[in-house]
């Protein structure tokens, strides 16, 4: 006969002076008990599909609302549990100009910035009743303040400044080519596209060359974004793929806002027009569409966002 197991309804840190029950505190237990009780309260949760007009064809992001009471360890553990490219946590802002603060986790750790989580989290925040202080939405994250706007039924963010740009050295490009399974000469152009995740962008001969790649993910020296142009008259200007080492989480990101932002800063207005649509996720059976616009010194990256799951989370 199996022994009955007592399954707790929530998990919480046990500290001296903290109340250990998830039931509401009584009058004589408050106020010290209130903090412990709040840790057990369910948090609103949404999963948002980003960068596709077709159901379940974009890149999902898990968004936890009101996450100020969670520890770093709880956030990291939940991100590992969802096993999505990114999981985000909405918190009260600390900067006077920000509407909210966002923390972004992959299964492998925290990121200072990422694109599709920025759009998906803004969508979730607005849907939950968030109202920007000005016409634009201002997100606070580790990389700084990121501005978002709503236009043509899409959300778009202004690409943050690159932490690192310019040519990648030859030794690194040889290692990247080897990890992608191509000759060094197959890389037509390359540059650092680092706005947080550490991307190096490599341009191949065309979109088909990008779709034909079969990387050795464990051999990747850095996160790599591959880009190739489509011909005249195609629906999209480029095909993009985003490759990561296994310890960072999923080895290919379905649709990547940060990488597309950096590619826009690198190539829009020269190799690419000032305004174009990028395709990503094709090799994974997705249909991501990323809208990129260079407006003066700014590059805006946008896409459709749709809530697919709504509920509550108890950690």
CB burial of residue 124 (10 Å; 0-12, 13-18, 19+): buried
Distance CA 9, CA 286 (A): 36
Q: What is the 3-state secondary structure (H, E, C) of the chain?
A: CCCCCCCCCCCCCCCCCCCCCCCCCCCCCCCHHHHHHHHHCCEEEEEEEECCCCCCCCEEEEEECCHHHCCHHHHHHHHHHHCCCCEEEEECCCCCCCCEEEEEEECCEEECCCHHHHHHHHHHHHHCCCCCCCCCEEEEECCEEEEEEEECCEEEEECCCCCECCCCCHHHHHHHHHHHCCCHHHCCEEEECECCCCCEEEECCCHHHHHCCCCCHHHCCCCEEEEEECCCCCCCCEEEEEECCHHHCCCEECCCHHHHHHHHHHHECCCECCEEEEEECHHHCCCEEEEEEEECCEEEEEECEEEEEEEEECC
Is 312 designated active site? no
Among the listed residues 86, 235, 239, 252, the single catalytic one is: 86
- Tell me the catalytic residues: 86
């Amino acid at each position: 006969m199996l022994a009955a197991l007592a399954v707790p309804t929530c998990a919480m840190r046990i500290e001296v002076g903290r109340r250990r029950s998830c039931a509401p505190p009584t009058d004589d237990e408050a106020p010290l008990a209130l903090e412990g009780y709040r840790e057990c309260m369910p948090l609103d949760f949404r999963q948002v599909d980003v960068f596709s007009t077709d159901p379940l064809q974009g890149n999902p992001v898990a968004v936890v609302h009101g996450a100020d009471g969670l520890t770093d360890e709880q956030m990291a553990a939940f991100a590992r549990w969802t096993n999505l490219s990114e999981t985000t946590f909405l918190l009260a802002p600390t900067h006077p100009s920000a509407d909210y603060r966002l923390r972004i986790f992959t299964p492998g750790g925290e990121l200072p910035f990422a694109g599709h989580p920025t759009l998906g989290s803004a969508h979730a925040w607005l849907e939950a009743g968030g109202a920007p202080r000005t016409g634009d939405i201002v997100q606070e994250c580790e990389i700084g303040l990121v501005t978002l706007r709503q236009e043509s039924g899409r959300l778009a963010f202004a690409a943050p400044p690159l932490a690192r740009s310019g040519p990648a050295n030859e030794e690194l490009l040889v290692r990247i080519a080897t990890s992608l399974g191509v000759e060094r000469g197959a890389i037509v152009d390359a540059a650092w596209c680092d706005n947080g995740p550490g991307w190096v962008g490599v341009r191949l001969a065309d979109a088909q060359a990008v779709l034909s790649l079969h990387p050795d993910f464990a051999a990747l020296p850095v996160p790599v974004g591959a880009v190739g142009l489509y011909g005249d008259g195609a629906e999209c200007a480029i095909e993009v793929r985003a490759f990561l080492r296994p310890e960072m989480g999923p080895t290919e990101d379905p649709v990547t806002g940060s990488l597309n932002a950096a590619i826009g800063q690198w190539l829009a207005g020269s190799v690419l027009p000032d305004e174009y649509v990028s395709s990503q996720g094709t090799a994974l059976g997705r249909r991501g569409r990323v809208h990129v616009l260079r407006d003066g010194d700014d590059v805006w990256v946008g896409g459709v966002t749709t809530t697919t799951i709504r509920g509550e989370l108890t950690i």
